[in-house]
A and B are shown apart, each in its own frame.
Chain A
Amino acid sequence: MKFRRIQIGRHLRDKFHGSWMVISLVLVMSSPVFLFVGLSVKSWLLLEENSIFHLLLSKEWKPLSGQFGFYPFIISSVWVTVVALLISAPICLLTSIHLTQYAKKWVLKIMHPIIDILAGIPSVIYGVWGILVVVPAISNYVGPFLGKQVSGYSILAGAIVLSIMIIPFILNILIEIFRNIPTELSEASLSLGASKWQTIKFVLVKRAMPGIISALGLGMSRAFGETIAVLMVVGNVTKIPTGLFQPGYPLPALIANNYGEMLSIPLYDSALMLAALILFVVVMLFNFASRLVIIESEKHA
């Protein structure tokens, strides 16, 4: 009898745990749908009155008179993201090759915790560092060096801070990709008389190309959505930037900066939620494509 009761208890417990697991699975898996629907419903009010193309391409941002043109913000976002990627891509590529092909054990032992810590530092701290070091450096040294009067709060400052933030992220993926390349490939190349560098250049990098591109794509989408650190150093002026030393106003900064007043002006909250929706969709598409490419290239390995 006792044994029987224990048996029933065990199976009830199994049922309970099983259903809790399924509930967790369904909740987590449906959250992207919730995110999309929630933001869409909120931004619908604005989309009903304006076409999406008009909103994206209009330069007029005057919430008080109901004009919401996202163009300056989108262009700022693109500037910051692209410049950040231009800075971090070569550094990541070179470092990942160094760490996977040349570096001695002790270098790896030092670099692993460094990359981990860089990845874990909160974005506010990067922002503080930007204000302490990057912004003064630009206004005191880089600007005068080029013969310009600049405040330092600029696209360039935002891009530098961002590039440091996405380095650990891209680097980890690149290291993983280079490690996954079968050693037979480089052995074959070396035995044919190619030098180590030739092997890296013509065999490894070529083989890793899809992975490299998608790692950069993932880094780019990370940079695109980064908020606080950029907000702190980029200047936040609603104007279309035309150069590295001009202030910009990327989309995430727009959302973060205006949450306080958004409920007091009609449609303002709707506009900010639309900005969040744009971020969500763009980042999702980028991630989707990059991850697919990585999975495809792993299949062939």
Chain B
Amino acid sequence: MNIKKIEERFFRVLMFCSTVIIATTLMLIIFSILYKGLPSVSWEMLTSTPKGGFYFGKGGGVLNAIIGSLYLSLGATFLAFLFGLPLALYMNVHLIKHQKLVNGIRFVLDLLWGVPSIVYGAFGFTIMIFFGIRASLLAGIITVTLFIIPIMVRGMDEVLKSVPRGLLESSLSLGSTQAETSYRVYLKQCIPGVITAILLSFGRAIGDAASILFTTGYTDYIPTSLNQPTATLPLAIFFQLSSPIVEVQNRAYASAVILVTIILIISILARVFSSKFHKNKINF
């Protein structure tokens, strides 16, 4: 065998190995979390808030963090949707003749996507101080919204971009306004893709810890208004894990199982919707 063949063989083995490494790492991560956390997951964990002595290993659960995380991410996703969808539609319907401008907007969104969440957290904190809001659900929602808007808009933009231009032209030539074209034609055409983008941003929102570290605070109670501090799952994991008591640490692992489960469900849903998108797509 000549040296060229051996080289190719060698690299093919290396390439195969690195692919396997990536796949096994994911398995390893999920397996080790489940292995360590599943024994501590209990009905009480899921359905009760911390009771007295919770942080010394006594009874209670993390319902406050589960509900808090859901409130926070639902609020932020809703707010991001309120600005994100119009923006994505505007880029692809109204500005379709100004591709340079649209590319500029995409560029800025990509830059924003790259900003670390801790920077958003620090910025959220300065806004909080400026407006005199204390660490609360509201402050958290605003911060997380800033953080997920670029993700959501770029996700929607990717699908809206693929709508054939003929559809726009026929819709406009039949006399519909640009807004009607946006919401009744483009949005309808891309619904599954838009839902995927929303789900992915929701997943980002529920999993991020650095941006809410300054802004939401932490509490043992389920928040009843926007002005109250809120517990969240990532921070629950983080705080409980730094405790020296084994029972508390075990509950951190159990909370990690809960968070991973939520994330996996979201990513499966996203996958289902995005495959639907490919089925519905009109090809000109």
Contact = CB atoms under 8 A, between A and B. Distances in A.
Interface pairs A-B: 5 shortest CB-CB: A225-B116, A122-B207, A276-B122, A17-B179, A197-B8
Contact of B105 (A25, A32, A259, A279): A25
Interface in B186-241: 200, 203-204, 206-210, 213-214, 234, 237-238, 241
Contacts of A195: 4-5, 8
Contacts of B182: 17
Interface string A222-237: 1011111000100000
Given A28-B149, A123-B210, A95 B15 contact: yes
A52 interface: no
Interface string A78-121: 00000000000011101101110011000100110111111011
A280 B115 contact: yes
A188 interface: no
B90 A38 contact: no
A129 B110 CA distance: 29
Interface of B: 4-5, 7-8, 11-12, 14-19, 21-23, 25-26, 28-29, 32-33, 36, 83-84, 86-87, 89-91, 94, 103, 105, 107-112, 114-123, 125-127, 130, 146, 149-150, 153, 177-180, 182-183, 200, 203-204, 206-210, 213-214, 234, 237-238, 241, 252-253, 256, 259-260, 263-264, 266-267, 270-271
A41 B130 CA distance: 11
A100 to B, nearest CB: 11
Contacts of A111: 19, 22-23
Contact of A222 (B86, B114, B183, B271): B114
A283 B29 contact: no
A34 B179 CA distance: 29
A22 B179 CA distance: 12
A123 B109 contact: no
A225 B119 CA distance: 8
A39 B123 contact: yes
A125 B11 contact: no
> Which one of B83, B118, B179 has the highest number of Cβ atoms from chain A below 10 Å of its Cβ?
B118
B26 A118 contact: yes
Given A31-B146, A284-B114, 4 more contacts: A18-B178, A122-B263, A124-B207, A195-B5
A44 to B, nearest CB: 12
A221 interface: yes
Interface stretch (A6-14, A67-75, A138-146): A6-14
Contacts of A284: 111, 114-115
Contacts of B83: 24, 27-28
Interface of A: 10-11, 13-14, 16-18, 20-22, 24-25, 27-29, 31-32, 34-35, 38-39, 41-42, 90-92, 94-95, 97-99, 102-103, 107, 110-111, 113-118, 120-129, 131-133, 164, 167, 171, 195-198, 218, 221-222, 224-228, 232, 252, 255-256, 259, 272-273, 276, 279-280, 283-284, 286-288, 291, 295
Dominant SS among interface residues on chain B: helix
A17 B89 CA distance: 10
B110 A13 contact: no
Contacts of B109: 28
Contact of A113 (B7, B204, B271): B271
B107 A13 contact: no
A259 B214 contact: yes
Given A131-B241, A132-B36, A35 B115 contact: yes
A293 to B, nearest CB: 12
A232 B238 contact: yes
A120 B263 contact: yes
